[in-house]
Structure 1
Amino acid sequence: MENLIVLKEETHQWNELEDKQQEITTDEKPTLTKKTLSRDRSRKSKSRCNFSCKQSRKSFCQKPNLDVHTRKKPFTCKQCGKSFYNTGNLKVHMRIHTGERPYICQQCGKSFYSTGNLAVHRRIHTGERLYSCPQCGKSCKQNGNLETHMSTRTGERSFICTQCGKRFSQKQNLTIHMRIYTGEKPYTCTECGKSFPHKGSLKHHMISHTGQKPFACAHCGRSFTTKASLMNHMNGHTGTTVFTCDHCGKSITRKDSIKQHMKTHLGERFRCSECGKGFKYKRSLVNHMKLHNGEQK
């Protein structure tokens, strides 16, 4: 009986001691443990993120993220010198030079350099318009078209050339303009290797290889590679001396007038990124782009 009483007292004392230890543990140690874990995690994350920007002292766990932060583009195209953040973008860009178009539209068979371009093209068939103007509600198939539309409403030109300070309403126009300074010619002929700054210039050049003459004379059936050549040929049928602009095909009867007209092309600030055609006024480019985007027929 005495042994039983002693056992109960010892058990009671042990329980009290255990409760006190538990109180100490629950009151003090978790806080210390959380701090310790936090420090450990911080040390581990710092040890993993070894890529640091010398200017901002910001650290990154992956070098590509640091390259984007510092705007460093380590992957350069050997054909035209354009640089990229990663090899994936360089690979897509190289298709401009090689002519490779692996992504094909199942509706019409047209092929594209990237999945993004194919996705935008498909909206011509589906009629899908994802981008809407918050001012008037007009819908566009491409974000670039919406930006163009918005700039016509606000008159804003937020894209500025760092070389000359010239302002543009569209990023693509600034990109084309910058080729004056960089000398970039991303469109390369697969036949002879000659490069051009605009897609339209390449298309015109390709005629010299294909022998295609799309401009035919209605009087005699003779064909020509350019509209200007056709118009000059037509002078022989009409007996009229006409001077034709090589840029746009416009015909003028006076030589001094054609010279004056040619100067207007020097001020073509707005150029189509699809075909390279230039425009003096932004509204003209906006209307022209609708032909490429399928917004009007």
Structure 2
Amino acid sequence: MRVHTGEKPYTCDQCGKSFTQSANLNRHMNSHTGEKPYKCSHCDKRFSRSGDLKTHERIHTGEKPYMCSHCDKRFSNSSQLKKHERIHMREKPYTCDQCGKSFTRSLSLKDHMNIHTGEKPYKCSQCDKRFILSSQLKTHERIHTGEKPYTCDQCGKNFARKGHLTEHIRVHTGEKLYTCDQCGKSFTQSSRLNEHMNIHSGEKLYACDQCGKTFLRASDLKKHLTVHTKEKPYSCYLCGKSFSRCSNLKVHQKIHTGVREFMCFVCEKTFISANCLKQHERIHTGEKPYKCLHCEKRFSVSSSLKTHERIHTGEKPYHCTACGKCFKHSSTLHRHTKNYHKSIEENK
């Protein structure tokens, strides 16, 4: 009857909390004494209340008795179900008093408050890096564990972040949401658009710590670093030639196989790589997307622009090992070595 009357005659002398039944008071007292009489038979973890033990044991049994009436998703305890149902009800009872943003869970609000305070309470146990949000820590820890829980159902590729999977799927769908407002070129990923914008601005954010050379894209810097390390981990199993990039090896191997799968629809000429075809097609279209920042001259391939810019910068990256003379072009160095140093050897 006390359930209906609301009468709670059993009061805790430690904190003043009241209960309808003496058994409930007795269980509550364990929270003050620290006594944990209820032990899990699976992992030896102990609890002060039998209800907590029962909820915990569902981790081992996999039992999820609480089902969402909206989407049939199941949960191991009622509190998880209650929090989940707020997604369907669009109920967000927890509001930030700093910016007014609302959340479905109190923990989400607590994490959000760290953005305002600057506090980073979540520390990685592997590298001591700290984070504002628990979700950020969870994502970061996958760097150490190698966990990639998000799998593409098209090709089976795995990703550590859901956002990376979402962007990857556009490779299969062909969807390109990110468009350059300068030239209209579209990209599947925002990061690709950001890198592309550097072509128009001429900004080279990525610098080599070995020689100071700068690059428009992080991927270009990564490729360049193999010049210094001399690392060539990709070897052709047919002739033994090694390459610093896997893509270069794949193109090279087509020399052996004779496969030229990329065809120009204008003149039907075939090529061993998509990049070679793309460069060739500019002969027909007249497209010259690479513009010199110094003199307005334009080029159909980036390598031609790079070579041209040395006229303005005076850069001479090709060094003769015999006499130390420097050249702007590799072909000039080759002619110099062949003609000048060959004659020296003959005159000895």
TM-score by length of 2: 0.39
| Structure of higher RCO (CA pairs closer than 8 Å, 6+ residues apart) | 1
